[in-house]
Amino acid sequence: MIDPDVLRGLFLFEGLEEDRLAWLAAHAHERGAAAGELIVRQGDPADCFIVLIEGEVVMVTETPAGPVSLTPTSQPGVYAGATSAYLGERAPASYTHSLRATRPSRFMELPAGKFGRMMTEWFPMAVHLLDGVRLGGLAQREFIDRRQRLTALGTITAGLTHELNNPAAAAVRAVGELREKVASSRRRLAELAEAGIPPDRLRALIDMEERCSTGAAGLPPRSPLEISDAEDELGDALEEAGVGGGWEVAPPLVAAGFGPAGLEKVRSAAGPEHLAAAVHWLAEAVEISQMLDEVTDATGRISSLLASAKQYSQMDRAPYRTVDVRELLDSTLTMFRGKIPPGIGVATDYDPALPPIPAYAGELNQVWTNLIHNALDAMAGEGTLTVRTRLEHGTTALVEICDTGPGVPEELRERIFEPFFTTKPAGAGTGLGLDISFRIVAGRHGGDLRVESAPGDTRFQVRLPAAEQPETEEVPAAGRPERAAPPVETTA
């Protein structure tokens, strides 16, 4: 039994008729709790509907990454516990959260069965509406979540396709030219043999070609003007030596570090009578080696992109494991490379002291994708995207996605994390990217997602536990996400 005057002062029961208020007072009872006392434990049978009369409470949900605490509230009338008992057999059988008093408090407790019957008998239409809204909301959220993931996947796929196309095209082009060069090189060797070049001289030429090919990688960089001057100088020397077509053979030889002094070495190795044929063969052999390097670079680039795609998608990997956040960020940036406008620069600032963290890697990559995509949109093709990591207080990993766009107005900063809220034009956004990101960070990882913004400097900050949290029944009062709804409603 509880005093009806106590219930009459709670906003939850405003407008309730006196007879119903009396019924509620007769079937409910009052419960006191000391500071730190557990009122509802997640996983226990959901047998009570709880209403705060006086004091302060905090709601906590246990996740695989640790406990997630909402903001404490002292608002009389906030409720928790078996809030879905009106669903009958379809109601959750156990509490989906824990509730703890943070200071001495008083509560109203109503058995779940009585609360369910009260709702269905007193408010039958409201029960049908609530059930419909719940089912419709779940279905809509699931559908839009899938749509959001597919949209992100389409964006990433387009960028990856663009990035793969360049090295693939380079490899195809080089292989096509290789066929012609290899055939021509064979003919040049046959001509030298028919001209009677001694075997030792031929061996000397082959050794010279190998030195040119292996030494090209160690050459100092040269400007285009310096390369052009070197080609003209070698071409003139070839013409003076009687080697026809010097303008054709000079570029590959110059790229291998070959100059007029090298021409005398060829004359000495092959003999004056074989100079022209030897120079042409040497140029083609060096060019073949250069094309093979191009193919190696192109295929290596393709392999690197595919490795980044595999890292991004987390294929063949456990969903929850210890990961290096920097690798996840790099793989996401690689996926975006083809979608970043030329006017936007990308900078990374990674803290080497940041340790691996326990996380759902694939889901964090979805968070990075959403935040980077929003940052690129905000800058409208011009600015700097900065990705930064830090270790805070030795236990928290901080990831910042920063842009130099116009910023988020102060009146919108709290709303941007709400489901379906978007600042983009109609049809340009679902309003779920940041909501999904917040649920992944806070709900799945026990972390926090917030924004700090000023014109030219907007930072989305993701904070994640940097180490496994020990299992405990205690609910931390500190370290709570600031952006969280008070426990005035739950899905128990």
DSSP 380: T
Of the given ranges (36-45, 132-141, 402-411), which has the lowest mean pLDDT? 132-141
Task: Give residue 484's pLDDT band: very low, low, confident or very high (50, 70, 90).
Answer: very low
* Region 51-67 average pLDDT: 80
* Region 339-359 average pLDDT: 90
The Cα diameter of the chain in Å comes to 120
Res 166: pLDDT = 67
User: At 220, is the secondary structure helix, strand, or coil?
Assistant: coil
Q: How far apart are CA 379 and CA 384, in angstroms?
A: 8
User: At 182, is the secondary structure helix, strand, or coil?
Assistant: helix
Task: Give residue 478's pLDDT band: very low, low, confident or very high (50, 70, 90).
Answer: very low
Task: Give residue 400's pLDDT band: very low, low, confident or very high (50, 70, 90).
Answer: very high
Of the given ranges (26-35, 93-102, 368-377, 405-414), which has the lowest mean pLDDT? 405-414
Could you tell me the CA-to-CA distances from 312 to 80, 326, 370, 392 in Å, in that order?
39, 12, 13, 25
Residue 57 has pLDDT above 60, yes or no: yes
Of the given ranges (325-334, 339-348, 478-487), which has the lowest mean pLDDT? 478-487
The overall pTM is greater than 0.85 = no
| CB 254, CB 197: distance < 8 Å | no
Task: Give residue 474's pLDDT band: very low, low, confident or very high (50, 70, 90).
Answer: very low
Res 473: pLDDT = 38
Reference 84, options 42, 125, 112; nearest CA is 112
Tokens of 289: 């080696």
* Region 160-171 average pLDDT: 71
Chain position carrying tokens 């766009």: 405
| CB 481, CB 439: distance < 8 Å | no
> What is the DSSP track for 422-466?
-SSPTTS--S-HHHHHHIIIIIIHS-EEEEEEETTEEEEEEEEES
Burial of 464 (0-12, 13-18, 19+ CB in 10 A): buried
Considering only residues 153 and 6, tell me which one the structure prediction assigns the higher pLDDT: 6
Reference 444, options 417, 460, 462, 421; nearest CA is 462
pLDDT in tens, 295-324: 887 787 777 667 656 656 555 555 778 889
Q: How far apart are CA 74 and CA 53, in angstroms?
A: 9
Percent of the chain with pLDDT over 70: 80
Strands 344-349 and 383-392: parallel
Could you tell me the CA-to-CA distances from 322 to 113, 355, 359, 472 in Å, in that order?
43, 10, 6, 21
Res 458: pLDDT = 93
* Region 161-176 average pLDDT: 74
Q: How far apart are CA 85 and CA 16, in angstroms?
A: 20
* Region 373-400 average pLDDT: 91
Residue 344 sits at the vertex; the CA angle it makes with 342 and 347, to the nearest 5 degrees, is 125
DSSP 94: B
Could you tell me the CA-to-CA distances from 199 to 193, 194, 213 in Å, in that order?
9, 12, 21
What is the distance between the terminal CA atoms of the chain, rounded to a whole angstrom? 25
For the chain, give the mean pLDDT. 79
Note the helical H segments in 123-242: 124-194, 199-215, 224-240
| CB 362, CB 445: distance < 8 Å | no
Residue 469 has pLDDT above 60, yes or no: no
Sign of CA dihedral 24, 28, 33, 39: negative
Q: Give the highest mean pLDDT range of 209-213, 342-346, 472-476.
A: 342-346
Chain position carrying tokens 């030494």: 215
Q: Which amino acid is at 329?
A: L
Task: Give residue 152's pLDDT band: very low, low, confident or very high (50, 70, 90).
Answer: low
User: At 239, is the secondary structure helix, strand, or coil?
Assistant: helix
Q: How far apart are CA 116 and CA 95, in angstroms?
A: 15
Res 287: pLDDT = 83
Chain position carrying tokens 């759902």: 360
pLDDT in tens, 3-38: 888 888 888 888 888 889 899 889 999 999 999 999
Tokens of 141: 């959220």
CB neighbours of residue 175 within 10 Å: 14
Strands 48-63 and 79-81: antiparallel
Considering only residues 479 and 269, tell me which one the structure prediction assigns the higher pLDDT: 269
Task: Give residue 395's pLDDT band: very low, low, confident or very high (50, 70, 90).
Answer: confident
